[in-house]
Every structure is written in C-alpha cells, then in structure tokens.
Amino acid sequence: MNLLTELVAFIVAIGVLVVVHEYGHYSVARLCGVKVLRFSIGFGRPLVQWVSKKTGTEWTVSALPLGGYVKMLDERESAEKIPASDLPHAFNRQPVFKRIAIVAAGPIANFVLAVVLFAVLYASGVSEPAAVVAAPPAQSAAARAGLQGGETVLSVSDANGSDTRSVRSWTDLRWKLLSAAFDQGRVVLAARDGGATYDFPLDLSRLTSKDLDDDFMSKLGLEAGGGTLRVAAVEPDSAAQHAGLEKNDQLKAIDGRPVDSASTFINYVKAHAGKPVQLTVARDTVAQRAPQTQATPQASLQTLTLTITPAMQRDEQTGQEVGRIGAALSAQTPSVDVRYGPLESVRLGAYRTWDIAAYSLRMFGRMITGEASLKNLSGPVTIADYAGKSARLGPSAFLSFLALVSISLGVLNLLPIPVLDGGHLLYYLVEAVTGKAVSDRWQLVLQRAGLACIVALSAIALFNDLARLIHF
C-alpha cells in the first residue's frame, strides 16, 4: 500500500511540475507569436494525443512520465521546408529578448507555482511546532547565549538590530537562522521567558560547511522543546526494563537536567554508554492498576527516580560505541496555527520561495567547490519516497513538498549548463551583448559537454538514492 501511495504521489507531483514548467514556455511562446507544434507530457511512445483546432498544437501524454517538452517551429530543427507564411512565427526568427523570455518562462512558472502553494498554505493556516527552546547542552552556542530552556523565540535580528524578522514557529526560526548562517555572523534572538522578553546574542561563526550540511540547529544547541516526552514501549531484557522503566512513563529529567526534547534525551543517553544516569519520571500509578471494568479514576502522578545504565552499542553510521537503553519514545510538542491574510500570504510565499531558491543555489555552488557533499543530490527514488511520506501526512505536507520540488526544478533549469534552459539563456545573453549568435559548432560542443554533465549528475543522484535505500 505504501509503495502504491508513493507511486501515485510521485506521478501526481511530477505531472503537476512538468505541466506548469512546460506551460510557462508554451504560454509565453504563444504571446510572442511563436507557433507551437507539440506540447508533450512525458517522453517516448504517445499514449494519448489530440490536436487543437484553434492553434494546431498537438497535445500529447507519453509513456515515460519523467519530464516533458514544448516543440516550437524552428528552421534549424525542421527536415522540411517551412512555408513562407509560417516563417515569421518560427522561434529562431524572433528577437533575442523574446527568445530569452520564452526560455526563462519555464523556470519562472515553477517559482510562481511555489509562491502560490506557499500562499495557499499561509492563508489556510498550517500547524507547526512552536518556537520553544529546549534546555541546551552545556557549552553550546545556545547555552553561551544565555538560553536555559522553555523560552519562546519571538524574532531574529542582526547584531546591529537593524534587520528584525518576526518568528512564528520553529520551522520559521530554522529558515531564518539558516539564511543568517551563510554570513557566518551573529544574530540576536528576542525570546519570551515567563512574562518578560529578553535578548539572547547567538554566535553562528563557529558553524562549518559540514554543520550546514547536517543538523546545524543541534550544533547550535537548539532543539524544539516545551513538550512532554513519554515512553511508548520498553524492549524486553533491556537496560530500561532492568531499571524499572514502564510504558507511558513521562520523562521529566535526566541527571537533573529537564527533558522536553527527544533528540536531547537520546544524545545524552548516547554520550553516557556504560555510565549510570539518574532518570526522573512521572508515573500514573492509579490508572495503571485500575480494573478495566470500572471507570478510570482521576490520574494520580507519582514522581520516581530510576538509575539506568545505558548499554554500549556500535553506531552503524559513525562506528563508535554509543549508549542505548532500549525504549521507544513518544514526543508531544506544542504547536501553533500559522495563518495570514491574502496579501501577507503572497508576500511571505514569495519571500519563502526566494529564500529556498537562494539556499539551493548556495548549496549547489558549495558542492561544486567541494565544500558540501555530493550526497545532497537526490534522484527520482528519493523524490518518490518523500512524495509518498508527505502525501500520507496530509494535504498541507504534500503541498509543501510540491513547492520545494518546484523551486528545485526551477533552480536546476536555470543553471548555465547546455541542454538545460540556463544553457540556452547563456547563449542568448551572449548574443544580446555581442550582437552575434553563438556558432552552431560551439553549440554542438557545449551541448555534448552539458549532456555529459547531466548524465554524471543523474548517475550520482541515482547512486545516492540506492545508498539511502539499501543503507550502504
């Protein structure tokens, strides 16, 4: 069933993105007076096709749904002589700025789709984790900033306080810090603690390129908190069972440190392999011993202190010995409903799209220079996996996923690689500046180089997909 969900979600996602991208090319070509011969969704053998009586365009749905194309009238690609009446409508006969507009319209359409999807989400309201900070590890950047846990972040500003941006949720906070982290500077978090608001200067300068590839928020000591952490299950003959930990126990503290974040608790346990730790839990003793035949009495919580020694186990990713207690956790974090007005939703949608596009370009540039790992590239298998997961989470998650992939598709197509839209734009920009078109010979050489580059990137993305799938 999960495989079917992933397949359907993947086909829907790719179909929507391709239609939007190619329709961008199509609509601007029509506005510029260019004759469009074919609008194809997919490649290979046509499954469905029809011809528009009004425009003469052949609309096609083909067998391989991993892309699409718009074929325009072009003397360079026509095997037969084009009638003189159609020559003014040939793509190659258009002024260079019209050709630039037609080629750029596809990626721009993907960005517009992302803005619309984000605007719909912001206007309809989305539930996101609240920007409540969990107790940070000692000596972390968050701890040095003065955060102790339980504070609600309200805004992020630069060190001078000249650029202040409000924070609505934990997701919003993460994006704002990620954007600031590329400048390797300092920011000031305004956070509410109790009834007062305080400023916390946060140092981002120690973040490395590898940190930005991984979970940089954890590197800063920032975890979403303010929630409750319970034991969902206890493994037989585990350290948790031997210590007396039971299902539904609420974890309150470990070695006196408050616990309101699953990742914080897990990291602490991992770091204390073979070392006894004191675990403070709250247990509903009345509910546990109440007979099933009678009404459940009012809960009576008992605070217990358990001594537990995490067992040593080798981490498959790092190869190091880490602590493990053998208990599954269930976290309930506070959430907020983020909702905006129509105009504000569009503005925020455009801002979010810009941020993600800029981040994608930076990441791609860092992969080229070797500052970021090529493992960040993903192929169709990973996209299908995330499509299925987001679809199962609900419409909001799927629309968010669709917006992210649409931005990635737009950015990818604008890269100055021959074969892609960005490569063609590069040709036309050179022509606009020099007044001379790039020669057919040079275009052929560059097309081959661009094709080799795309094949290499696709191979790396497919390898990464397989590596994630079979864990090697």
Count Cβ atoms within 10 A of the Cβ of residue 435 and give its class: 0-12 exposed, 13-18 middle, 19 or more buried. Answer: exposed
Residue 403 · residue 410 · CB < 8 Å? no
Q: In this structure, how many other beta carbons lie within 10 angstroms of the beta carbon of residue 35? A: 18
Q: How far is CA 8 from CA 12, 340, 386, 387, in A?
A: 6, 31, 12, 9
Residue type, 434: T
- Quote the CA–CA distance of 382 and 399 in Å, as a whole number: 17
From the list 234, 231, 227, 228, the residue with the least C-alpha distance to 249 is 231
- The three-state secondary structure class of 37 is strand
DSSP 84: G
- Quote the CA–CA distance of 187 and 197 in Å, as a whole number: 16
| Token pair of 456 as six digits | 């290499």
User: Residue holding tokens 């701890």?
Assistant: 143
Residue 226 · residue 332 · CB < 8 Å? no
Residue 26 · residue 103 · CB < 8 Å? no
- Quote the CA–CA distance of 299 and 34 in Å, as a whole number: 73
From the list 405, 349, 343, 344, the residue with the least C-alpha distance to 119 is 349
Beta bridge partner(s), residue 203: 186
| Token pair of 283 as six digits | 């247990």
Active site residues: 22
Residues 6+ apart with CB under 8 A from 351: none
On the CB side of 134, CA atoms within 13 Å amount to 29
From the list 166, 203, 160, the residue with the least C-alpha distance to 181 is 203
Residue type, 377: L
What single string gives the DSSP state of each residue in 385-442? Answer: HHHHHHHHH-HHHHHHHHHHHHHHHHHHHHSS-TTSHHHHHHHHHHHHHHSSPPPHHH
